[in-house]
């Protein structure tokens, strides 16, 4: 399964958040700090939806600089 995780962080912390998450989660395929509505975007690939759930709720959202996340699960890879 593949998911896009959009992340809002506290001001000035997006680079550090991306680095911490990349170091902690082996399922991260791409992780970038970005400009726009969100501060970071990540692509995660995992074997099951439950794995993505664990990553988002128990790792990403537990980061003290993460304010909010929005997850989009890929319906069908092209």
Query: Which CATH number goes with the domain that contains 69?
Result: 3.30.70.920
User: If you average pLDDT over residues 39-67, what whole number do you get?
Assistant: 95
61 vs 78: CA distance, rounded Å: 29
For 37-46, the pLDDT digits (tens) are: 999 999 999 9
41: containing domain: 2-73
Domain annotation covers residue 14: yes
pLDDT at 7 over 90: yes
Domains: count for the chain: 1
Q: How remote is the C-alpha of 65 from its chain's centroid?
A: 13
pLDDT greater than 90 at residue 48 = yes
Query: Does residue 78 fall inside a structural domain?
Result: no
């Amino acid at each position: 399964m593949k998911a896009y995780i959009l992340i809002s962080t506290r001001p000035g912390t997006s680079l550090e958040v991306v680095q911490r998450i990349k170091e902690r989660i082996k399922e991260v395929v791409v992780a970038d700090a970005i400009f726009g509505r969100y501060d970071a975007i990540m692509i995660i690939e995992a074997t099951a939806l439950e794995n993505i759930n664990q990553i988002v709720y128990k790792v990403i959202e537990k980061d003290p600089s993460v304010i909010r996340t929005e997850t989009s699960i890929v319906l069908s890879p092209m």
